[in-house]
């Protein structure tokens, strides 16, 4: 393999796929599609729908994603998981021997809270990388709620649910966007003076939104999130918190 293309596909809506991404998907020789287990078939199906909508003639090969070993410390758990994914990619590519570029469809943007680039760096020999940006969950969230990402001349802190849970509100922050939060870590914050805008399945037909003062909106978000996750078997969501004047 000499060329590996990491293609941002937005938040699951084929309309979010850029013209550059569509052209790349029509040029790729092989597309790898991960399967994430029972109850998450929608994630692979959405990738197939995007490929169909883009008229991609590429050969498509699915592979089963490995499971992280929850017994290990977090950093080691993730590192070993990435090692295993890279090995799977290499095995599939060697077996298929494509005559052209290999592509992976990446939710959102490959450079924002996504590890595809870190996994690609494990491949040996190293491929020539091409990264095609995609619409991020941050853009889809602010668009869905029709709010600006930042205040006038204001800074935005982007963090994870794990860090919000373990360290609380970032010191000096005005606006905080939280990614990768499966535990509704906003419930660990003192709600006074905080407003939240939350969204799940952003940009998709099943999109759900909640917003309001944190004290009032938090119970609604927790209930909405639990119901949606139970119905679909998975959820992708994010939220923005901002201190009120």
Q: How far apart are CA 160 and CA 180, in angstroms?
A: 6
Least confident of 30-39, 58-67, 120-129: 30-39
pLDDT of residue 40: 77
The residue ranges of DSSP E strands in the chain, in sequence order, are: 3-8, 30-35, 59-64, 102-106, 128-132, 156-160, 175-179, 194-200, 208-213, 237-243
> Candidates 3.40.50.720, 3.30.950.10, 3.65.10.10, 2.60.40.2480; correct CATH number of 138-243?
3.30.950.10
Mean pLDDT of 132-138: 95
Give the residues across from 160 on adjacent strands.
179
Q: Give the Å distances, CA to CA, from 192 to 35, 196, 243.
A: 42, 11, 9
Give the residues across from 158 on adjacent strands.
177
Mean pLDDT of 211-217: 97
pLDDT of residue 244: 82
pLDDT of residue 41: 82
Q: What is the dihedral of CA 100, 102, 108, 113, to 10 degrees?
A: -130
Average pLDDT, the chain: 94
pLDDT of residue 241: 98
Q: pTM score, two decimals?
A: 0.89
- Please check the confidence at residue 102 and state whether its pLDDT lies above 90: yes
pLDDT of residue 245: 61
46 phi, psi to nearest 5 deg: -65, -40
- Please check the confidence at residue 91 and state whether its pLDDT lies above 80: yes
196 phi, psi to nearest 5 deg: -125, 140
Mean pLDDT of 68-77: 93
CATH architecture of 3-135: 3-Layer(aba) Sandwich (3.40)
Nearest CA among 138, 141, 139 for reference residue 221: 141
Both tokens of 191, joined, read: 């709600």
> By percentage, how much of the chain surpasses pLDDT 90?
89
Nearest CA among 74, 80, 92 for reference residue 29: 92
Mean pLDDT of 223-235: 94
- Could you tell me the pLDDT band of residue 1, with boundaries at 50, 70 and 90? low
The reply to whether 138-243 shares the fold of 3-135 is: no
Q: What is the dihedral of CA 85, 45, 208, 187, to 10 degrees?
A: -20
Q: Give the Å distances, CA to CA, from 120 to 6, 97, 134, 240, 245.
A: 9, 17, 18, 30, 44
SS (HEC) of 65-128:
CCCCCCCCCHHHHHHHHHHHHHHHHHHHHHHHCCCCCEEEEECECCCCCCCHHHHHCCCCCCCE
Q: What is the pLDDT of residues 144-193, one digit of tens each?
A: 999 999 999 999 999 999 999 999 999 999 999 999 999 999 999 999 99
- Please check the confidence at residue 202 and state whether its pLDDT lies above 70: yes
Which has more confidence, 75 or 41? 75
Other CB atoms within 10 A of residue 212 CB = 14
Both tokens of 212, joined, read: 């309001």
pLDDT of residue 38: 76
Both tokens of 21, joined, read: 């991404």
> By percentage, how much of the chain surpasses pLDDT 70?
99
**Structural domain boundaries of the chain?**
3-135, 138-243
Nearest CA among 89, 29, 86, 91 for reference residue 60: 29
Mean pLDDT of 110-114: 93
Q: What is the pLDDT of residues 19-37, one digit of tens each?
A: 999 999 999 999 999 998 7
């Amino acid at each position: 393999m000499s060329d590996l293309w990491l293609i941002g596909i937005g938040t699951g809506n084929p309309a979010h796929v850029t013209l550059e991404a569509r052209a790349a998907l029509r040029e790729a020789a092989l597309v790898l599609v991960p399967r994430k287990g029972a109850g998450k078939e929608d994630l692979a199906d959405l990738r197939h729908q995007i490929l169909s909508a883009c008229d991609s003639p590429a050969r498509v090969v699915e592979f089963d994603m490995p499971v992280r070993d929850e017994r290990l410390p977090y950093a080691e758990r993730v590192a070993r998981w990435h090692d295993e994914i890279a090995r799977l990619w290499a095995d599939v590519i060697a077996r298929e021997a494509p005559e052209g570029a290999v592509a992976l469809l990446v939710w959102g943007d490959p450079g924002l809270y996504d590890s595809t680039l870190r996994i690609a760096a494990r491949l040996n020999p190293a491929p020539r990388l091409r990264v095609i940006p995609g619409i991020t969950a941050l853009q889809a969230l602010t668009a869905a709620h029709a709010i600006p990402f930042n205040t006038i001349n204001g800074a935005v802190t982007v963090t994870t649910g794990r860090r919000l849970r373990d360290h609380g509100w970032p010191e000096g922050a005005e606006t905080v966007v939280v990614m990768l939060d499966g535990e509704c870590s906003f419930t660990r914050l003192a709600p006074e003076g905080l407003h939240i805008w939350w969204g799940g399945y952003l940009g998709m037909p099943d999109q759900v939104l909640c917003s309001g003062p944190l004290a009032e909106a938090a119970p609604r978000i927790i209930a909405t999130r639990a119901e949606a996750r139970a119905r679909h078997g998975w959820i992708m969501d994010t939220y923005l918190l901002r201190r009120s004047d």
